[in-house]
A and B are shown apart, each in its own frame.
Chain A
Amino acid sequence: MKIQIRPVIVAALCAMLLSGCVQYDSKRGVEVKWQSVITEQLQKGTSTRGEVLALLGPPSQIISLDEETVLYYLFERTKGNGYILILYNRFTVDARYDRAVFFFDDNDILRDYSTHIHEPEDK
Protein backbone atom coordinates (compact mmCIF):
# COMPACT_ATOMS: atom_id res chain seq x y z
CA MET A 1 0.00 0.00 0.00
CA LYS A 2 1.38 3.34 -1.03
CA ILE A 3 0.70 6.35 1.14
CA GLN A 4 0.29 9.72 -0.61
CA ILE A 5 2.53 12.14 1.27
CA ARG A 6 1.23 15.26 -0.48
CA PRO A 7 -2.20 15.34 1.30
CA VAL A 8 -0.45 15.01 4.65
CA ILE A 9 1.78 18.00 3.86
CA VAL A 10 -1.22 19.99 2.67
CA ALA A 11 -3.10 19.13 5.86
CA ALA A 12 -0.13 20.18 8.00
CA LEU A 13 0.17 23.48 6.11
CA CYS A 14 -3.58 24.10 6.55
CA ALA A 15 -3.24 23.49 10.29
CA MET A 16 -0.40 26.00 10.43
CA LEU A 17 -2.45 28.57 8.51
CA LEU A 18 -5.41 28.13 10.85
CA SER A 19 -3.35 28.82 13.96
CA GLY A 20 -3.02 32.37 15.22
CA CYS A 21 -3.03 34.75 18.11
CA VAL A 22 -5.58 37.25 19.33
CA GLN A 23 -5.44 40.35 21.46
CA TYR A 24 -8.36 42.48 22.49
CA ASP A 25 -9.48 44.96 25.06
CA SER A 26 -12.83 46.23 26.19
CA LYS A 27 -13.63 49.46 27.96
CA ARG A 28 -16.88 50.13 29.78
CA GLY A 29 -18.03 52.94 31.99
CA VAL A 30 -17.49 56.63 32.43
CA GLU A 31 -14.41 58.57 31.40
CA VAL A 32 -11.75 58.56 34.11
CA LYS A 33 -11.53 62.16 35.31
CA TRP A 34 -10.61 61.46 38.93
CA GLN A 35 -6.87 61.89 38.55
CA SER A 36 -5.20 63.40 41.63
CA VAL A 37 -4.73 66.78 39.94
CA ILE A 38 -8.50 67.05 39.69
CA THR A 39 -9.49 65.57 43.03
CA GLU A 40 -6.99 67.86 44.79
CA GLN A 41 -9.54 70.59 44.15
CA LEU A 42 -12.03 68.81 46.41
CA GLN A 43 -12.18 69.40 50.15
CA LYS A 44 -14.12 67.30 52.63
CA GLY A 45 -16.58 69.47 54.51
CA THR A 46 -16.67 72.28 51.94
CA SER A 47 -16.96 70.93 48.39
CA THR A 48 -20.48 70.41 47.13
CA ARG A 49 -22.13 67.72 45.06
CA GLY A 50 -22.50 70.27 42.26
CA GLU A 51 -18.73 70.83 42.20
CA VAL A 52 -18.04 67.11 42.00
CA LEU A 53 -20.56 66.69 39.18
CA ALA A 54 -19.05 69.68 37.37
CA LEU A 55 -15.56 68.17 37.63
CA LEU A 56 -16.34 64.52 36.91
CA GLY A 57 -19.61 64.57 34.97
CA PRO A 58 -22.52 62.17 35.42
CA PRO A 59 -21.71 59.12 37.57
CA SER A 60 -22.24 55.45 36.82
CA GLN A 61 -24.56 55.10 39.79
CA ILE A 62 -26.33 57.32 42.30
CA ILE A 63 -27.29 55.90 45.68
CA SER A 64 -29.44 57.63 48.25
CA LEU A 65 -29.87 57.00 51.94
CA ASP A 66 -32.57 59.33 53.24
CA GLU A 67 -31.15 62.80 52.56
CA GLU A 68 -27.61 61.57 51.88
CA THR A 69 -26.36 60.73 48.42
CA VAL A 70 -23.45 58.74 47.04
CA LEU A 71 -21.99 59.22 43.58
CA TYR A 72 -20.17 56.18 42.20
CA TYR A 73 -17.94 56.32 39.11
CA LEU A 74 -16.71 53.17 37.40
CA PHE A 75 -14.50 52.51 34.41
CA GLU A 76 -13.92 48.84 33.64
CA ARG A 77 -10.98 47.88 31.46
CA THR A 78 -10.70 44.30 30.24
CA LYS A 79 -7.65 43.10 28.37
CA GLY A 80 -7.36 39.72 26.78
CA ASN A 81 -4.95 37.80 24.68
CA GLY A 82 -4.67 34.30 23.45
CA TYR A 83 -3.12 31.94 21.03
CA ILE A 84 -4.88 29.43 18.87
CA LEU A 85 -2.82 26.42 17.89
CA ILE A 86 -5.79 24.23 16.95
CA LEU A 87 -4.65 21.44 19.26
CA TYR A 88 -4.05 23.75 22.19
CA ASN A 89 -5.69 27.13 22.68
CA ARG A 90 -5.19 29.48 25.60
CA PHE A 91 -6.83 32.79 26.43
CA THR A 92 -6.26 35.10 29.37
CA VAL A 93 -8.63 37.88 30.38
CA ASP A 94 -7.74 40.53 32.97
CA ALA A 95 -10.35 42.99 34.22
CA ARG A 96 -9.39 46.01 36.27
CA TYR A 97 -11.67 48.63 37.76
CA ASP A 98 -10.90 52.34 37.98
CA ARG A 99 -13.40 53.78 40.40
CA ALA A 100 -14.31 56.72 42.59
CA VAL A 101 -16.92 57.11 45.29
CA PHE A 102 -18.18 60.32 46.91
CA PHE A 103 -20.44 60.54 49.96
CA PHE A 104 -22.49 63.71 50.55
CA ASP A 105 -24.41 64.71 53.65
CA ASP A 106 -27.98 66.00 53.74
CA ASN A 107 -26.72 69.48 52.74
CA ASP A 108 -24.97 68.08 49.66
CA ILE A 109 -21.55 68.72 51.22
CA LEU A 110 -18.78 66.24 50.51
CA ARG A 111 -18.27 64.07 53.59
CA ASP A 112 -15.97 61.25 52.40
CA TYR A 113 -14.47 60.19 49.13
CA SER A 114 -11.97 57.78 47.64
CA THR A 115 -10.55 57.20 44.18
CA HIS A 116 -8.54 54.47 42.52
CA ILE A 117 -6.88 54.29 39.11
CA HIS A 118 -5.22 51.00 38.26
CA GLU A 119 -1.56 51.25 37.35
CA PRO A 120 -0.40 48.61 34.88
CA GLU A 121 2.19 46.29 36.42
CA ASP A 122 4.60 46.62 33.50
CA LYS A 123 4.93 50.38 34.00
Chain B
Amino acid sequence: MSLKISKLCQALVLALLALALAGCTQWRYDLGDHLTHVNLDKLQQGMPLSEVLNIFGPPQRISASPSGYLLAWEHWQVDEDSLGIRLGALGADILSLDWGKARIRGEFLLVTFDREHHLSGSTVSEWDNLAGGGQGIQPFIGVVSMVDIDDLVRSLPQHTWGATSLQELPRALNTQSSPLSGQSGMEQRGTPPSIGQKSLELR
Protein backbone atom coordinates (compact mmCIF):
# COMPACT_ATOMS: atom_id res chain seq x y z
CA MET B 1 0.00 0.00 0.00
CA SER B 2 2.72 2.46 1.00
CA LEU B 3 4.57 1.56 -2.21
CA LYS B 4 1.54 2.56 -4.27
CA ILE B 5 1.26 5.90 -2.50
CA SER B 6 4.92 6.67 -2.98
CA LYS B 7 4.65 5.86 -6.73
CA LEU B 8 1.64 8.14 -6.98
CA CYS B 9 3.56 10.95 -5.28
CA GLN B 10 6.47 10.35 -7.62
CA ALA B 11 4.18 10.61 -10.66
CA LEU B 12 2.61 13.75 -9.24
CA VAL B 13 5.99 15.40 -8.77
CA LEU B 14 6.99 14.47 -12.32
CA ALA B 15 3.74 15.89 -13.66
CA LEU B 16 4.24 19.13 -11.73
CA LEU B 17 7.79 19.34 -12.99
CA ALA B 18 6.67 18.86 -16.58
CA LEU B 19 4.07 21.60 -16.13
CA ALA B 20 6.63 23.93 -14.60
CA LEU B 21 8.88 23.51 -17.63
CA ALA B 22 6.18 24.24 -20.21
CA GLY B 23 4.54 27.55 -20.95
CA CYS B 24 2.12 29.15 -23.38
CA THR B 25 2.20 32.83 -24.31
CA GLN B 26 -0.33 34.77 -26.35
CA TRP B 27 0.02 38.28 -27.74
CA ARG B 28 -2.96 40.14 -29.17
CA TYR B 29 -2.48 43.37 -31.14
CA ASP B 30 -5.29 45.64 -32.32
CA LEU B 31 -4.03 48.57 -34.39
CA GLY B 32 -6.43 51.23 -35.57
CA ASP B 33 -10.18 51.30 -36.11
CA HIS B 34 -12.44 49.11 -38.27
CA LEU B 35 -13.47 50.31 -41.71
CA THR B 36 -17.14 49.59 -42.06
CA HIS B 37 -18.52 48.20 -45.31
CA VAL B 38 -21.29 50.77 -45.35
CA ASN B 39 -18.68 53.51 -45.60
CA LEU B 40 -16.80 51.71 -48.36
CA ASP B 41 -19.96 51.62 -50.49
CA LYS B 42 -20.21 55.40 -50.33
CA LEU B 43 -17.03 55.95 -52.33
CA GLN B 44 -17.68 57.17 -55.85
CA GLN B 45 -15.53 58.33 -58.71
CA GLY B 46 -15.13 62.12 -58.73
CA MET B 47 -16.14 62.53 -55.09
CA PRO B 48 -14.47 65.57 -53.47
CA LEU B 49 -11.68 64.99 -50.96
CA SER B 50 -13.64 66.82 -48.25
CA GLU B 51 -16.49 64.28 -48.50
CA VAL B 52 -14.14 61.34 -48.21
CA LEU B 53 -12.52 62.94 -45.16
CA ASN B 54 -15.98 63.44 -43.65
CA ILE B 55 -16.71 59.71 -44.05
CA PHE B 56 -13.42 58.17 -42.94
CA GLY B 57 -11.69 60.96 -41.03
CA PRO B 58 -8.00 61.69 -41.49
CA PRO B 59 -6.06 58.85 -43.13
CA GLN B 60 -3.35 56.92 -41.30
CA ARG B 61 -1.05 57.14 -44.30
CA ILE B 62 -0.74 59.90 -46.86
CA SER B 63 1.55 60.71 -49.71
CA ALA B 64 1.83 63.06 -52.64
CA SER B 65 2.08 61.47 -56.07
CA PRO B 66 2.72 62.86 -59.56
CA SER B 67 -1.02 62.86 -60.25
CA GLY B 68 -2.31 64.03 -56.86
CA TYR B 69 -2.55 62.42 -53.45
CA LEU B 70 -2.70 58.91 -52.01
CA LEU B 71 -4.63 58.41 -48.79
CA ALA B 72 -4.86 55.13 -46.90
CA TRP B 73 -6.78 53.84 -43.90
CA GLU B 74 -5.92 50.56 -42.22
CA HIS B 75 -6.89 48.25 -39.39
CA TRP B 76 -4.74 45.36 -38.24
CA GLN B 77 -5.25 42.57 -35.73
CA VAL B 78 -2.27 40.37 -35.08
CA ASP B 79 -2.42 37.26 -32.88
CA GLU B 80 0.76 35.55 -31.82
CA ASP B 81 0.72 32.24 -29.95
CA SER B 82 3.73 30.37 -28.71
CA LEU B 83 4.30 27.28 -26.68
CA GLY B 84 7.59 26.18 -25.28
CA ILE B 85 9.25 23.70 -23.01
CA ARG B 86 12.57 24.67 -21.49
CA LEU B 87 14.90 23.20 -18.94
CA GLY B 88 15.80 26.68 -17.72
CA ALA B 89 13.69 26.20 -14.59
CA LEU B 90 15.99 23.37 -13.61
CA GLY B 91 19.01 25.61 -14.00
CA ALA B 92 20.16 23.99 -17.22
CA ASP B 93 19.67 26.21 -20.27
CA ILE B 94 20.58 23.49 -22.70
CA LEU B 95 17.38 22.42 -24.37
CA SER B 96 14.26 24.17 -25.57
CA LEU B 97 11.36 22.90 -27.63
CA ASP B 98 9.31 25.71 -29.13
CA TRP B 99 6.28 26.10 -31.33
CA GLY B 100 4.71 29.33 -32.48
CA LYS B 101 2.39 30.85 -35.03
CA ALA B 102 0.95 34.24 -35.91
CA ARG B 103 -2.36 35.09 -37.50
CA ILE B 104 -3.22 38.43 -39.07
CA ARG B 105 -6.55 39.97 -39.94
CA GLY B 106 -6.85 43.36 -41.50
CA GLU B 107 -8.32 45.87 -43.88
CA PHE B 108 -6.55 48.41 -46.04
CA LEU B 109 -8.29 51.10 -48.03
CA LEU B 110 -6.31 53.09 -50.57
CA VAL B 111 -7.92 56.10 -52.23
CA THR B 112 -6.27 58.25 -54.88
CA PHE B 113 -7.13 61.85 -55.66
CA ASP B 114 -6.27 63.98 -58.66
CA ARG B 115 -4.74 67.43 -58.41
CA GLU B 116 -8.23 68.95 -58.23
CA HIS B 117 -8.85 66.91 -55.06
CA HIS B 118 -11.39 64.60 -56.69
CA LEU B 119 -11.43 60.85 -56.14
CA SER B 120 -9.76 59.15 -59.08
CA GLY B 121 -9.60 55.59 -57.77
CA SER B 122 -10.02 53.38 -54.75
CA THR B 123 -9.25 49.85 -53.74
CA VAL B 124 -9.81 47.90 -50.57
CA SER B 125 -8.36 44.63 -49.38
CA GLU B 126 -9.25 42.42 -46.44
CA TRP B 127 -7.29 39.45 -45.24
CA ASP B 128 -7.38 36.79 -42.56
CA ASN B 129 -4.50 34.39 -42.79
CA LEU B 130 -1.45 32.91 -41.15
CA ALA B 131 1.54 35.23 -40.99
CA GLY B 132 3.97 32.45 -40.31
CA GLY B 133 5.22 30.30 -37.54
CA GLY B 134 7.58 27.54 -36.77
CA GLN B 135 8.77 24.93 -34.41
CA GLY B 136 12.19 24.00 -33.29
CA ILE B 137 14.47 22.12 -30.99
CA GLN B 138 17.39 24.22 -29.86
CA PRO B 139 19.84 21.99 -27.95
CA PHE B 140 22.17 24.49 -26.32
CA ILE B 141 20.92 28.05 -26.44
CA GLY B 142 17.63 29.39 -27.76
CA VAL B 143 18.70 31.88 -30.43
CA VAL B 144 15.83 31.82 -32.92
CA SER B 145 12.37 33.19 -32.26
CA MET B 146 9.66 30.98 -33.80
CA VAL B 147 7.45 33.94 -34.77
CA ASP B 148 8.59 37.38 -35.92
CA ILE B 149 5.91 40.05 -36.20
CA ASP B 150 7.95 43.17 -35.40
CA ASP B 151 7.48 44.58 -38.90
CA LEU B 152 3.69 44.25 -38.57
CA VAL B 153 3.23 46.08 -35.28
CA ARG B 154 5.73 48.93 -35.44
CA SER B 155 4.71 52.59 -35.13
CA LEU B 156 3.53 54.63 -38.10
CA PRO B 157 6.33 56.28 -40.15
CA GLN B 158 5.16 59.84 -39.44
CA HIS B 159 6.96 59.73 -36.09
CA THR B 160 10.34 59.48 -37.80
CA TRP B 161 9.65 61.86 -40.67
CA GLY B 162 11.91 64.61 -39.24
CA ALA B 163 14.80 62.19 -38.81
CA THR B 164 14.84 60.60 -42.24
CA SER B 165 18.12 62.30 -43.17
CA LEU B 166 19.80 61.10 -39.99
CA GLN B 167 19.61 57.43 -40.90
CA GLU B 168 22.57 55.39 -42.10
CA LEU B 169 23.92 56.59 -45.43
CA PRO B 170 22.17 54.24 -47.93
CA ARG B 171 18.80 55.02 -46.36
CA ALA B 172 19.47 58.76 -46.02
CA LEU B 173 20.52 58.98 -49.68
CA ASN B 174 17.30 57.26 -50.68
CA THR B 175 15.05 59.59 -48.67
CA GLN B 176 13.50 61.21 -51.74
CA SER B 177 12.37 57.82 -53.03
CA SER B 178 11.44 56.30 -49.71
CA PRO B 179 7.76 55.38 -49.32
CA LEU B 180 8.04 56.55 -45.71
CA SER B 181 8.69 60.19 -46.59
CA GLY B 182 5.18 61.04 -47.77
CA GLN B 183 6.48 62.26 -51.13
CA SER B 184 6.99 59.05 -53.08
CA GLY B 185 4.10 56.72 -52.49
CA MET B 186 3.46 54.51 -49.49
CA GLU B 187 3.73 50.93 -48.38
CA GLN B 188 1.78 48.63 -46.10
CA ARG B 189 3.01 47.07 -42.90
CA GLY B 190 5.05 43.95 -43.45
CA THR B 191 6.37 44.93 -46.88
CA PRO B 192 9.80 43.31 -47.39
CA PRO B 193 12.51 45.94 -46.76
CA SER B 194 14.60 45.43 -49.88
CA ILE B 195 12.17 45.74 -52.76
CA GLY B 196 10.93 48.52 -55.02
CA GLN B 197 11.85 52.06 -54.04
CA LYS B 198 13.79 50.81 -51.02
CA SER B 199 16.03 48.42 -52.93
CA LEU B 200 18.81 51.05 -52.97
CA GLU B 201 18.84 51.06 -49.17
CA LEU B 202 20.80 47.80 -49.34
CA ARG B 203 19.00 46.09 -46.47
A residues neighboring B (CB under 8 Å): 1-3, 5, 8, 11-12, 15, 28-29, 44, 60-66, 70, 72, 74, 76, 86-97, 99-101, 103, 111-116, 118
* B62 in contact with A2 (CB, 8 Å): no
Tell me how many residues of B have a C-beta within 8 Å of chain A.
Answer: 43
Residue among B10, B16, B50, B59 making CB contact with A11, cutoff 8 Å = B16
B35 to chain A, nearest CB (A): 13
B196 to chain A, nearest CB (A): 19
Smallest Cβ-Cβ distance to A91: which chain B residue:
B27
* B19 in contact with A103 (CB, 8 Å): no
A65 to chain B, nearest CB (A): 4
A11 to chain B, nearest CB (A): 7
Give CA–CA (A57, B91) in the complex, Å. Answer: 55
Residues of B within 8 A of A115 (CB): 57-58
A-B contact pairs, 7 of them (CB 8 A): A70-B64, A90-B26, A90-B28, A93-B153, A103-B49, A103-B117, A114-B50
Smallest Cβ-Cβ distance to B27: which chain A residue:
A91
Give CA–CA (A60, B161) in the complex, Å. Answer: 7
Smallest Cβ-Cβ distance to B57: which chain A residue:
A116
Residues of B within 8 A of A112 (CB): 49-50, 53, 117
With contacts A61-B182, A74-B158 taken as known, whether A89 is within 8 angstroms of B23 at the C-beta atoms is: yes
* B24 in contact with A89 (CB, 8 Å): yes
- Complex interface residues of chain B between 151 and 176 (CB less than 8 A to chain A): 153, 155-156, 158-159, 161
Give CA–CA (A113, B58) in the complex, Å. Answer: 8
Give CA–CA (A91, B27) in the complex, Å. Answer: 5
B106 is an interface residue with CB less than 8 A from chain A: no
* A65 in contact with B117 (CB, 8 Å): no
Give CA–CA (A51, B117) in the complex, Å. Answer: 22
B200 to chain A, nearest CB (A): 22
* A88 in contact with B58 (CB, 8 Å): no
